Amino acid sequence: MSDFFAMGGHGFYIWASYGVTALFMIVEVIAVIRSKRTVEKRLARLARAEARTKNAL
C-alpha cells in the first residue's frame, strides 16, 4: 500500500498533479451548483414580489 503511494519515489509529483486536478474539478462542480441555487433563490424572491404587486393592484 505505501509502495503504491510512494510511486517509485515520484509520489509527490504524481499526487500533487492528480490531487489538485481532482480538487479543482470537484470545487468547480460545487461552485456551479451553489451559484445556480443562489440565482434561483434571488430571482424567485423577485418573481414572488412582482406577483404580489400585480395581485395588489
Partner 1 sequence: MGLMSSVPWYHYSAPKNFYPLAGRLIPWFWGLAIVLTVVGLYMSFFVAPTDYKQGEAYRIIFIHVPAAWMSMFIYLVMAAYAIIGLAWKVRLADMMASALAPTGAMFTFLALWTGAFWGKPTWGTYWVWDARLTSELILLFLYIGFISLQSAIDDPRRAAKASGLLAIVGVINLPIIYFSVKWWNTLHQGASVSPTMAPKMASIMLITMLIMAVAFWMYTIAVVLMRVRRIILQRERQTTWVMELLSGAKGERR
**CB 33, min distance to partner 1, A:** 7
For 28-39, the three-class secondary structure string (H helix, E strand, C coil) is: HHHHHHHHHHHH
**CB 37, min distance to partner 1, A:** 9
**CB 56, min distance to partner 1, A:** 15
11-50: which residues touch partner 1 (CB under 8 A)?
Answer: 11, 13-14, 16-18, 20-21, 24-25, 28-29, 32-33, 35-36, 39-40, 43-44, 46-48, 50
